[in-house]
Structure 1
Amino acid sequence: MVKSEGPTSGVTHAAPTGSLLTLDQLTARVGLSVRTVRFYTSRGLVPPPIRRGRSGYYSAEHVARIDLVLELQSHGFTLSAIERYVAGIPDDASPEDIALARTMLAPWQSDLPVEMDRAQLEARCGRELGADDIATLQALGVLRLRGTTYLVASNQLSIGVRLLELGFPREVAVAAAGVYAEHGEQMAKELYEVINDKLAPLYDGASQSEHFREIMERLKPLSVGGLVTAYEAAVARAARIPRRS
């Protein structure tokens, strides 16, 4: 067992197998500055370095966790949201477990959101947007706030704007978003378990990681299509009018 430095002093971690990295090697590997890596460590986003004598080293777990943090940032997660997400990762999670979580986080649709400021957003909408309009578009999933800018699903923006013009109530959008969130979370958990238990073990080696990522990228649009098909069938069943006796 190797003792870690920093706030968790006294907590021991098993020494990882494979090559360890110095801080300089780690920063070159992940494309971050020394200051940023140390900041992530101070916030608990990355474990402290592994101590060997007076030197600190970093393992594949450190690389995987940094990659995950960067993935979360690319999705517009705030620092506090990233901290909450990372806090839910078990201490004994392997680099493969963390890499799977990162792969699952990557976009499931080919149309990536476009970042816009308020002026650009209103120009694209062709109208001014009040606070209630913004809240409705957020509830509809058309945009989400990222600091002082917005991440916009540009392929859905015109639909959202038309709903605003038709007087679509904000409370309905919020209620529908609640339904999507509740059932979407359950579906995500179950799909994650299927992939983690049945698919990921088939591509466990490092040499297979690129192969696994390609499979996931090709699977995602099919999964989205399958979800839409299942939803349409469920709506059709729910909308059937019972015959009168």
Structure 2
Amino acid sequence: MPDRTADSLSVEELAARVGMSVRTVRFYAGRGLIPPPRREGRNGYYGPDHIARLELVRELQAHGFTLSAIEGYLERVPDDATPQDIALHRTLLAPWMPDLPETLSRAELVERTGRDLADGDIEILVALGTVEPTPDEDVFRVAPAHLGLGVQMLDTGIPLDAAIAAQHIFTEHGRAIAEELTTVFREIVWPHYRESGQSPEAIRKLIEHYKPLTVQALVMSYEAAVNETQRETVRRRR
């Protein structure tokens, strides 16, 4: 089946391709978030550039951007940016967790973990950031990739106050590390990639590799710091 994306999609087909309503697509077009369609008589046709920009809009929405903020972001994307260039922006915005959070009832959470969960267990999972409460006390937002780790922490018998204290430390220092590494990426890594002359697709793959490598480097640094702290503790005791 041919790929009908070479400026041959009707507005209805474009809406279906990006998972939006026709009304929403037309609203965004009216706000200038996508370029005008190719015209043939009274008919307008859309293609890869429109798809890429609407997918970027959706990614920005998922990150909580307001409409005015989205408009400001897209104003900085050159008019002649290719769909591959725009995909780079989506790669930079993509969440670092391998799975998006899911919404589970308490019964579904019990089934997923394979164990009974007392109120205290739920509190610990919330403190660890694995589970997030919602206005409905029996419904939770769950990070699937981290749920197994949360259950293993429960198996250690960790006290609630220790879980809260640990999560506070991780959050405080994690935010500082994220801000500093973001500065490094923005001021050093990203300009280097852009000036390298590589294709947008090659740069996108490099960025995707950069994320897990950064996480692994952080884990290695933490492990080294823990070992050094243990050695220093032993030296003080001697």
Give TM class, smaller chain.
Answer: 0.5 to 0.7
Evaluate the alpha carbon distance shift between residue 203 and residue 60 of structure 1 in structure 2; reply closer, same or farther with a 3 A threshold.
farther
TM-score (norm 1): 0.61
Describe how 1:24-43 pairs up with structure 2 within 5 A.
24=12, 26-27=14-15, 29-38=17-26
Which of 123, 147, 154 aligns to 1:154? It is 147
2:95 matches 1:102 = no
Q: SS of the residue aligned with 2:73?
A: coil
Evaluate the alpha carbon distance shift between residue 231 and residue 62 of structure 1 in structure 2; reply closer, same or farther with a 3 A threshold.
farther
Based on CA coordinates, which of the two structures has the bigger radius of gyration? 2
The question of whether the paired residues in 2 share the 8 Å contact of 1:72 and 1:82 is answered with yes
Q: Give the C-alpha shift of residue 55 in structure 1.
A: 8.8
Query: 1:171-219 CA distances to partner (integer Å, 9 max, x unpaired)?
Result: 4144222322232233234234433211244356xxx333333333344
Q: SS of the residue aligned with 2:160?
A: coil
Q: Give the C-alpha shift of residue 24 in structure 1.
A: 4.4
* Structure 2 spans left out of the alignment, 5+ residues: 1-5
The question of whether the paired residues in 2 share the 8 Å contact of 1:27 and 1:37 is answered with yes
Supply the RMSD in Å over aligned alpha carbons.
4.4
Describe how 1:1-245 pairs up with structure 2 within 5 A.
23-24=11-12, 26-27=14-15, 29-38=17-26, 47=33, 50=36, 63-71=51-59, 77=62, 81-83=64-66, 86=70, 89=73, 91-94=75-78, 95=81, 98-106=86-94, 108=96, 111-112=98-99, 115=102, 116-123=104-111, 124=113, 126-130=115-119, 134=122, 136-144=124-132, 149-152=140-143, 153-162=146-155, 165-169=157-161, 171-176=164-169, 177-202=171-196, 208-237=199-228, 240-241=232-233
* Structure 1 spans left out of the alignment, 5+ residues: 1-17
1:7 aligns with: none
Separation in 1 of the partners of 2:88 and 2:54?
14
Q: SS of the residue aligned with 1:150?
A: strand
The question of whether the paired residues in 2 share the 8 Å contact of 1:125 and 1:161 is answered with no
The question of whether the paired residues in 2 share the 8 Å contact of 1:203 and 1:211 is answered with no
Q: Give the C-alpha shift of residue 30 in structure 1.
A: 2.9
Q: Give the C-alpha shift of residue 129 in structure 1.
A: 4.8
Q: Give the C-alpha shift of residue 32 in structure 1.
A: 3.1
Query: 1:135-185 CA distances to partner (integer Å, 9 max, x unpaired)?
Result: 64344232346895523223323224336x421315414422232223223
Identity of aligned residues (%): 32
TM-score (norm 2): 0.62
Give the counterpart letter for 2:204 in structure 1: R
Evaluate the alpha carbon distance shift between residue 171 and residue 198 of structure 1 in structure 2; reply closer, same or farther with a 3 A threshold.
same
Q: SS of the residue aligned with 1:137?
A: helix
Query: 1:55-102 CA distances to partner (integer Å, 9 max, x unpaired)?
Result: 9887877544422344467xxx47xx2328736726223346653332
The question of whether the paired residues in 1 share the 8 Å contact of 2:7 and 2:45 is answered with no
Separation in 1 of the partners of 2:141 and 2:22?
30
Separation in 2 of the partners of 1:138 and 1:200?
40
2:3 aligns with: none
